[in-house]
Structure 1
Amino acid sequence: MTNTLVVSAHPEPDSFTAAWARASAEAAAGAGDVATSDLYAMGFDPAERAELYRHEGRFDPLRVQEAAAAAGTLPPELAAEVAKIRAADLLILHFPIWWFGPPAMLKGWFDRALVHGALHAVERRFEDGPCAGKRALMCVSTGCRAEECGPDGREGDLRLLLWPLAHALRYCGFTVLEPVCVHEVHGYHEAPARDAFAARIACVLEQQAAVIDGLASRPVWASNPSSDFDSLGRLLPGAPVLSPFIRHA
């Protein structure tokens, strides 16, 4: 049995992102329990700050999160998200790309819900992180053509845009699977292209069950293990370069 958490970030409940997230949740329900976090519908607060905690004095987010996690005094909305993440074997994130990154709502969920002291710590990160053994899948839409967000595309390489989120998940211990990307999702299609767009989107939703069923064989998004780094955290000579973000100096 696989327990799944589906997190979605789009303000419109009738959006493709929302429908795609529902398709994931329905598909995952056949394999185990499913929890959902529709961040906009929940009214999730993405802005981390001192007044959300029982805290006085200088606000150091990591220390405050760690202390609250240890004392059992996390804000209720964070405690709920941590519990969902801990219970999940599989995390599925649904979101669009806005201004070359995820919506601020999702970034805020990363900032707040991946609580220091609960889902990562100084001595518990990457392969040793609390989420080791869990898998994560990003289901992403863009408004541009696939060609425009390739390595030579003028919108920028989508894999590089997604890398910071993937690495944050790896930091907590998740195994990150190759993302699923759907392009040219926007509200400016005109007939007859509009009908073709609707048919294409319907096909994506219909095929999501097969995507979820096939995750066991989906490739892992390769990253350097901790053994590829020296005691100062620098990539060892001879270690493979798997991303422009981590390369030989």
Structure 2
Amino acid sequence: MSGASHRPPRTLIVLAHPEPRAFTAAWAGATAAACRALGQGVTVSDLYAAGFDPAERAAHYPGRAGRFDVMAEQDRAAAEGRLPGDVAAELARIAAADRVIFHFPLWWFAPPAMLKGWCERVLVHGVAHASRRRFDTGPYRGKTALFCVTTGASAAESGPDGREGDSRLLLWPLAQTLRYCGFAVKRPVLVHGVHGFHRGAARAALEARLERVLRDQQAVIAGFEARPALRFNADAEFDADGRLRRGAESVTPFIRHR
């Protein structure tokens, strides 16, 4: 962990859910409480509560002229110290953190648009990545991410043979995004069957199960370092064209030998 050998780790919680009374928000609160109970520093970015704008657009860069090229404009704004204030604040929180824990639901087989937009705006070209600073040499190497995720579908439906699709694979694009910037990514924590249509005994069972998840979150945080990490192919395992070398192991269905 970057710079954390002599002090407790510092955690940034990124919460992406529009309802402050939702389980996702309570779970993020349990993460924050667990960090504090363990003497760890913690900061929370509640994206909906903050009114974060997830859409990257030219209006975020007043005074610019000509065609709006997102990567070029981000790079110039970063170099000139004129990044939008909300983006600069998020970047400062990431810079100060050793761990980033994301709390969000899966909606339509992907994280909410709010979180996708956070990646597009906050993972700024020239700060979080650059052509020669990505993957193994990404600026955020030494930092670690964890996803705490809810689904509305059951665990069976969300498994490798489930009709909803494997939730772990649905999370791969977000994991690869962070990997691109240098993060290590821990195996996600998934809680299934979370929705508001349960009734009677089914609702009581859900509430009891979610209470256990909240109680168990301190153990998740206490065991953070020992939690297995997702595997990614190293830069050296790709050839000059960016293709997986013969003999290199394919560690994800998304990157495999032809």
- Cα pair 1:3 1:31 within 8 Å, conserved: no
Structure with a larger share of its residues in helix: 1
Corresponding position: 1:59 with 2:68: yes
Say which SS state the counterpart of residue 216 (structure 1) adopts: coil
CA deviation profile, 1:156-209 (whole Å, cap 9, x unmatched): 111111000000000000000000000000001110111111110000001001
State the distance in 2 between where 1:117 and 1:21 align. 30
State the distance in 2 between where 1:62 and 1:89 align. 26
Corresponding position: 1:201 with 2:200: no
Mark the runs of 5 or more structure 1 residues left unpaired by the alignment.
none
Match of 2:4 in 1: none
State the distance in 2 between where 1:184 and 1:247 align. 31
Q: 2:173 aligns with which of 164, 167, 189?
A: 164
| TM-score (norm: length of structure 2) | 0.95
Corresponding position: 1:116 with 2:125: yes
Match of 1:38 in 2: 46
Match of 1:2 in 2: 9
Corresponding position: 1:93 with 2:139: no
| TM-score (norm: length of structure 1) | 0.98
CA deviation profile, 1:51-96 (whole Å, cap 9, x unmatched): 1113221111111101111111000000000000111100000000
Corresponding position: 1:229 with 2:224: no
Q: Percent identity?
A: 59
Q: Kindly state the Cα deviation for residue 31 of structure 1 after the two structures are TM-superposed.
A: 3.5
Q: Kindly state the Cα deviation for residue 32 of structure 1 after the two structures are TM-superposed.
A: 2.5
Match of 2:155 in 1: 146
State the distance in 2 between where 1:116 and 1:149 align. 34
Q: 1:247 aligns with which of 244, 253, 256?
A: 256
User: Once superposed, what is the RMSD of the aligned Cα atoms?
Assistant: 0.8
Mark the runs of 5 or more structure 2 residues left unpaired by the alignment.
1-7
- Tell me which stretches of 4 or more aligned residues in structure 1 moved more than 3 Å: none
State the distance in 2 between where 1:40 and 1:210 align. 27
Corresponding position: 1:19 with 2:26: yes
Q: 1:28 aligns with which of 12, 16, 35?
A: 35
State the distance in 1 between where 2:203 and 2:226 align. 34
Q: How many residues align?
A: 249
